[in-house]
Amino acid sequence: MPRYEVRTIEWIRYEYGDRPHKARGPWSELIHRFGRYAVAQLACDGVNAKAWARSEFNPFHYGGETLFFQSTFPPGPFCDYLEDAGFEMSGVGDSATNADWAAWYELSRPGFTDAQLAAVREAMNLIRFAEVVGVPDAVEKGYVVQELNWSWNDNSSLDADPEGGNFVAVYRSRAKADARCAELNADRQSQEDYRGYTEFDTDRRIGAAEPHWRPIGETVFFEVVEVDLEASEGPS
Domain count, the chain: 2
Identify whether residues 201 and 222 lie together within a single domain.
yes
Of 101, 133, 165, the residue that ends a domain is 133
Angle formed at CA 196 by CA 195 and CA 202, multiple of 5 degrees: 70
Identify whether residues 79 and 192 lie together within a single domain.
no
Q: Is residue 23 part of a domain?
A: yes
Identify whether residues 39 and 114 lie together within a single domain.
yes
Identify whether residues 165 and 183 lie together within a single domain.
yes
Looking at residue 31, its pLDDT comes to: 94
Identify whether residues 151 and 218 lie together within a single domain.
yes
Give percent above pLDDT 90 in the chain: 66
CA distance 151 to 147: 13
Q: Name the residue with higher pLDDT: 90 or 115.
A: 115
Identify whether residues 25 and 96 lie together within a single domain.
yes
Of 76, 99, 133, the residue that ends a domain is 133
Identify whether residues 163 and 89 lie together within a single domain.
no
Mean pLDDT confidence for 139-158: 90
Looking at residue 25, its pLDDT comes to: 84
DSSP code per residue over 20-35? -PEEE-S---EEEEES
For residue 234, pLDDT over 80 is answered with no
CA distance 59 to 119: 13
Q: Is residue 235 part of a domain?
A: no
For residue 231, pLDDT over 60 is answered with no
Using a cut of 0.75, tell me whether the model's pTM lies above it.
no
Looking at residue 138, its pLDDT comes to: 61
Identify whether residues 46 and 111 lie together within a single domain.
yes
For residue 148, pLDDT over 60 is answered with yes
Q: SS in 3 state form for 148-174?
A: CCEEECCCCCEEECCCCCEEEEEECCH
Identify whether residues 92 and 28 lie together within a single domain.
yes
Looking at residue 72, its pLDDT comes to: 96
Segment 45-97, tens digit of pLDDT: 999 999 999 989 999 999 988 999 999 999 999 999 999 999 988 888 888 99
Q: Give me the domain span that covers residue 125.
A: 3-133
Mean pLDDT confidence for 100-114: 93
Q: Is residue 32 part of a domain?
A: yes
For residue 233, pLDDT over 80 is answered with no
Of 133, 161, 186, the residue that ends a domain is 133
